[in-house]
Chains A and B, each alone.
Chain A
Amino acid sequence: MENREILVEAKNLKEYFNVNTGMFRSKQLKAVDDVSFAIRKGETLGLVGESGCGKTTVGRTLLHLYKPTGGEVWFKGKKIETKADIAEYRKKSTMVFQDPYSSLNPRMTVSDIIGEPLDIHKMYADKQERKEKILDLMNRVGLNSEHANRYAHEFSGGQRQRIGIARALATSPDFVVCDEPVSALDVSIQAQVINMFDELQDQMNLTYLFIAHDLLVVRHISDRIAVMYLGKMVELADAKEIYDHPLHPYSKSLMSAVPVPDPKIARANQRIVLSGDIPSPLNAPSGCPFRTRCPYATDICAETMPEFKEEAPGHFVACHNVERIN
């Protein structure tokens, strides 16, 4: 995996939003603050963190759905800058959304939903080719091609998510951002969709950024996992490594808080329960954002943000006290 070429890279990516806090006042919300990472071809990078930590914003900014406030996005060794770059990049990078109910237009038939990216990028010669492509996509994601003229509301949640996936794959992309694609689904349906993501990756040589808060699902599907907290990336490592040997105190508590579906392990599990809530991103603490809840915080944590550095081969972490803790 290490030797594969890098497909997508974020360099010091920043995304700030202006939030109105009063009639004439506004404040800057640093949703993503100086995040750098690279995703290799054919890899699945899992992105985890709690609500409001900026993981969805990373996904959207990476696809230029939001214009980055700062930093760069590189795709296939080329910096995405001009409008033409973005147009070409959008063809090769797509997104699967969390909510299969609100992300499909209720007034469009399934074939029009799946065909829309084809229309936009003019990827067919005639109507017949368009139809064939749509039916092929429906078969790929396990939808009955006889249902092409139905509307989204006629399908169950799992099937709707399949429609969303077919739409994302319509332009034969290289890179897919999956934003909590299985969170809204029931357990038994979740497994169907997760397996489909795996199969499609093999068939179509896809690269995923898989955003989710269910750590067991992320661990199952990802090659590497990145952990975010309040707009910063705090740790990035191999999926098994980060789960078995997390280095950052936040990752440690996150991993230990996962409810394990096994009563004996769950009862014996020594959970590290953090006190307090996540601070509002509008009033992020100075220095390391985690210091207000961190049991190991020292003076330096309040002063500077620790550097995101490689602690072990392929294992990045941003913590001043990483040697002392581990």
Chain B
Amino acid sequence: MALLEVRDLHTAFTTPAGTVNAVNGVSFFLERGKVLGIVGESGSGKSVTAYSIMQILEKNGQIVGGSVKVDGQELVGAGEKVMKTVRGNKISIIFQDPMTSLNPTYTIGHQLVEAILLHTNRNRKQAWDRAVEMLQLVNVNEPLKRMKQYPFELSGGMRQRVMIAMALACEPDILIADEPTTALDVTIQAQILELMQSLQKELGMAIIMITHDLGVVAQMCDEVIVMYAGSICEQGTADEIFYNPKHEYTKGLMRSIPTVDNDDTPLEPIAGTPIDLLNMPAGCPFAPRCDKAMKICLRERAERMEINECHAAACWMNVKEKAEASQEGGEA
């Protein structure tokens, strides 16, 4: 049994302009001790997927179908009481902007102690010691001094370390990191990513890394999910996704980023603009921007198809290629 099992998850938001289906049938498993990357552009549903797992959606958002199981325990429809025991203890989350996710009016120590008291049976003194210990774990220098400081007194990198310390204080099995380094500078990003990697090895937790930066994914992740317009287009091991992409969107994404050795040739951008989630087409959501789109792509969504045991994609091109291959095989 996988640690986290997400099956056919659907999340919708009710807006004045209509219903937005932000997540459409997302399914994946996460094993203990693995790092899973979810990549996609803004509006692709990667954050909403994470918020749905944690059930911390905005008021107008709702899980409308599917199942989320942690250690075999069903979370969808389980109620707030159950979720309170899951959040922090089993799954923790860190957000992109460490300034807005810390309360500016309380000290770092107060906020850490509060989180620890809420989730464990420690008394205040023990919680304080635990908080100092956590700050040491995430390499915050002078932890005793930091405990008494306010968020504005710390740098961005330091604040993100505090967030990680808070998230890990109750030793969760899963850490969801929602663009944890996007707001940070390159050298600070390197520090945080290295910290997350070493903590992951030390504590043996699983990480879901949500990012738009393929470089971060390549560095951190064992497995990768590529999302577009609320659906998974492709999932597989990092090597499979980077070296053998099988969905036209993933291929386009790989071609459109500057790499170390393509500085003389122009980039190959994906034409058009991301889809409007209020007006989703019947077929593949990427079809309007896809230069290989066929008639069927506009009419019908492709089913998820296994490429090999550690790689799957939902693209009609694969069905076509498979059909051609079997035809050739039949003729020979």
Contact = CB atoms under 8 A, between A and B. Distances in A.
B238 A51 contact: no
B252 A258 contact: no
B242 A262 contact: yes
B267 interface: yes
Nearest to B213: A259
Classify chain A: how many residues form its interface, as a range: 35 or more
B215 A259 contact: yes
Given A187-B257, A188-B253, A263-B238, A158 B157 contact: no
B259 interface: yes
B267 A191 contact: yes
A273 B185 CA distance: 12
B273 A189 contact: yes
Contacts of B158: 277
A22 interface: no
A189 B262 CA distance: 18
Contacts of A198: 266
B187 A257 contact: yes
A215 interface: yes
Nearest to A293: B187
A277 B157 CA distance: 8
B13 to A, nearest CB: 19
Interface of B: 41-42, 141, 155, 157-158, 185-191, 193-194, 212-219, 238-239, 242-243, 252-254, 256-260, 262-263, 266-271, 273-274
A256 B256 CA distance: 22
Contact of A191 (B186, B189, B218, B270): B270
A61 to B, nearest CB: 22
B215 A220 contact: no
Contacts of B253: 187-188
A219 B215 contact: no
B258 A220 contact: yes
Contacts of A277: 155, 157-158, 188
Given A188-B256, A190-B256, A240 B187 contact: no
Contact of B187 (A188, A192, A254, A263): A254
B269 A192 contact: yes
A260 B186 contact: no
A203 to B, nearest CB: 14
18 contacts: A50-B188, A159-B273, A187-B253, A187-B257, A189-B269, A189-B274, A190-B256, A219-B260, A240-B263, A243-B260, A257-B189, A257-B190, A259-B213, A260-B219, A261-B214, A274-B191, A276-B141, A277-B155
A213 B215 CA distance: 14
Contacts of A257: 186-187, 189-190
